[in-house]
Each structure stands twice: as structure tokens, then as C-alpha cells.
Amino acid sequence: MTAVTTALHRALAADPDLLVLDEEVAEALHEGRPVVALESSAIPQGPAFPANLDLALDIDAAVRASGSVPARIALLGGKILVGMDKDRLEQFATDTSIPKVSTRGVGLTLAGGGAGGTTVSSSLLAADLAGIPVFAVAGIGGVHRDAPQSFDISADLVQFTRSRTAVVCAGAKSMLHPAWTLEWLETAGIPVIGYRCDDFPAYLSVSTGVRNPHRIDDLREIAAVAATHWQVGNDTSLLVTHPISEADGIPTADIEAALADATALAEAAGVSGPAITPYLLKAIAEATEGRTSAANRAVLLSTATLAGEFAVQMSLELAERAGESR
């Protein structure tokens, strides 16, 4: 069974009354055209309206400009939406009460009929069900720096062990421990490939100073690696990392200094668990006088562009393999 037919079987296995594909997304998947899955939690929980809506639309436009169809995922009315038009995006952008929902909350949210912005983990769950093999996000979750005491490890990492999806990203979020995150991924059998970069990126900074396990400079070669990874029976994700540009990034030393101060404030305030990441990000933004907002926008757009380009190569690779198997 090829990766293409496996994705199709997964999509067909999903309850059609539960998974609602936007018409454009459904048509692209049916025709074998490239599609990029995107999360939605940053829309209601990110910048204030209308900046959040403008950013979401710009990310979608970046994916389209790269030759792919954007498929933003969200939960609404007991359904998993795969693909959101402008009206739906605006609905999420103007309602800050919509919570972010990871995998553990998907069933609760769907059964309750409420709305939810999907995180990386829940978006991957839906992308896998829909048969979308490429997902874009600027920064993944990972192992927190206080994990030896808190056991705080992102659900993103666990979901990578369950979803056959290539995740295009700019590394892990800045407050995480890059070496421990890579170690966790290695143990879980998740390939990590740097696209034209030797070092594991640092989300808002170019480098963590930790090497990527692998480097490949051609997207079609990476697509072949992903397809083969799944063909041999692996049911895990594959990470494709590429950093923010030097011009848009923030020096690592500045981020580390801001993070140290923010972490001390969080400990004093008793902030922990799911609240720690947004708390630290906000504190870092304030400490860097808003430079993180500009950097975050830049890396979101560059990652979306790269994911769109990669999805084109992924679709070509999967189509070629499907043709050879006939």
C-alpha cells in the first residue's frame, strides 16, 4: 500500500459527519494537488483584531503563492473544519473566548459542540484524518527547561509519534530545551532534517547552537525520505526545519536574557502548566520591546512559504510512487 492510498484510507475511515472539508481543500485532495494544513489557535489567542485576521490571511496567501492550497483546521459545532474561508477566519479572529484545544481536548470540545482553535497536536490529528501529508507551524512544542522537575513535555511531541505528516517548522519555541527536545524526538523515532541549515533553528532566532541530526538541501529529496519513511511502515511524523532569516531574527543572547527574567517572574507568580508558554512569550515580547511580534510574523510567513513549496514536491513524489505501483 502506497503512502497515497494509506492517506486516502485514513480519510475515508473518518466519520464524514465529523470531518468537514472546505470545498477548495476537498477538490485539491481529490485531484492530488498540494495542500498545507495549518493550526488555528493563534487566531483568537494571538494578536488583537484585526491584526490576527490580517496575519492569518497573509499566511494563507503565502501558501497559495507557493503553489499549494491552505487548509486551516478548527473545531466548531461538533465538527472538525479543514479549511476556513475569510468569514470563518473573521469569526475566530473576533472571539477571544475561543480556547486553544490540543489532542486531549478534541473529544470534549466536539461532544460539547463548542468552538476550539487547534494547536499543533490537534491540527496534526485532523490533518492525518483528512489525508493531508504536510503541516506548517513556526515553532513546535517540545521539552521544557524545567522538565526534570515539572515533567512538562508538549503534546506536540507525542502526536508526532501518531501522525504520518511532514511538519515544516523553524524549530521549537524559544523557552524550550532544544537538546532535550531533539533527544526525545530521536528516542521516538522522529526524523529531523534541516533544509539548507546545519543547526536546529531557534524559532525567533537563527540557531540554537545544536546540530540538526540531518541536512538535505533539496526539497524533492526530503519528500522522497518522507514517503519512504511511511512506506516501510513508520506511522510517525517527520520534521523539516528551516530558520528565520538573519535579517528578521532576534539575537539568541537577547532572547536568552529576556527568557531568564521571564522565567524568574513566572516562578514568583506560580505560573505553570499550560499557562507557562503564553506567559513566557508575552514576557519576552515586552522585554524585547515588541521585536518578537515582528519576528514571529516573519517566521510564520517564511515557514508557510517553505511548506507550500515542500507540499508541491511531496505531491509530485507521492503521485510518482502511486503511478509506479499501478
Contact 225, 238 (CB under 8 A): yes
* Residue 156 annotated as binding site: yes
* Residue 154 annotated as binding site: yes
Measuring CA to CA, which residue among 110, 45, 112, 43 is closest to residue 81?
A: 110
Query: What is the phi/psi pair of residue 163, to 5°?
Result: -115, 130
Has 309 been annotated as catalytic? no
* Residue 95 annotated as binding site: no
Contact 210, 179 (CB under 8 A): yes
* Cell representation of residue 58: 497573509
Residue 107: alpha-carbon gap to chain centroid: 20
Q: Residue for cell digits 461532544?
A: 111
Measuring CA to CA, which residue among 320, 319, 253, 310 is closest to residue 287?
A: 253
- CA-CA distances (angstroms) from residue 274 to 91, 105, 155, 258, 277? 24, 13, 11, 20, 7
* Cell representation of residue 186: 530521536
Has 186 been annotated as catalytic? no
Catalytic residue among 90, 173, 309, 317: 173
Residue 213: alpha-carbon gap to chain centroid: 20
* Cell representation of residue 53: 485576521
Catalytic residue among 23, 27, 39, 90: 39
- Taking phi over 0 as left and psi of -120 to 50 as alpha, with beta for the rest, 9 belongs to alpha
Judged on CB neighbours under 10 Å (0-12, 13-18, 19+), 61 is middle
- Give the DSSP per-residue string, 243-268: PPPTTTS--HHHHHHHHHHHHHHHHH
Contact 204, 292 (CB under 8 A): yes
Q: How many CA atoms lie within 13 A of 171 on its CB side?
A: 31
- Give the DSSP per-residue string, 208-223: -SSB-SEEE--HHHHH
* Residue 254 annotated as binding site: no
Q: What is the DSSP letter of 49?
A: T
Catalytic residue set = 39, 173
Residues of each annotated binding site for substrate: 100, 120, 154-156
Positions at the binding site for Mn(2+): 152
Q: Where is the binding site, in residues?
A: 100, 120, 152, 154-156
